């Protein structure tokens, strides 16, 4: 009776161990499949195109954003992208002679 009970416990442990191995292998295969066949946008490296502009007297980011707004995008978004692309904080102002890059948004 004790031996039969021990054999039953061993069979349960064996089944659990095999199930665990199957789950691990299946998870590994899913990760590989996902990385090979379903690439994330995070991994796409599309080059950013931009205009290089030398700031003239009277230029503002708002006016530059309106001038280079090729796709009728919200001007506020373009100003935000120009600031982000050039590391220009809200408190910093552009000066004549500064060179900034204006990203071309699609």
The predicted-structure confidence for 12-68, as pLDDT tens digits, reads as follows 777 777 777 887 888 877 777 777 776 555 555 566 789 999 999 999 999 999 999
DSSP state of 55: -
Q: Which pLDDT score, from 0 to 100, does residue 41 have?
A: 54
Pairing of strands 99-103, 50-54: antiparallel
Report DSSP letters for 24-51, one per residue.
HHHHHHHHHHHHHHS--GGG--PPPPEE
């Amino acid at each position: 009776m004790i031996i039969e009970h021990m054999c039953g416990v061993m069979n349960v442990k064996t089944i659990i161990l095999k199930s665990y191995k199957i789950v691990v292998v299946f998870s590994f295969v899913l990760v590989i499949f996902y990385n090979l066949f379903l690439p994330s946008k995070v991994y796409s490296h599309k080059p950013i195109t931009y205009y290089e502009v030398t700031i003239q007297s009277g230029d503002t980011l708002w006016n530059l954003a309106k001038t280079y707004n090729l796709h009728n995008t919200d001007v506020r978004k373009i100003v935000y992208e120009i600031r982000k692309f050039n590391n220009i904080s809200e408190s910093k102002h552009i000066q004549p002679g500064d060179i900034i890059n204006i990203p071309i948004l699609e």
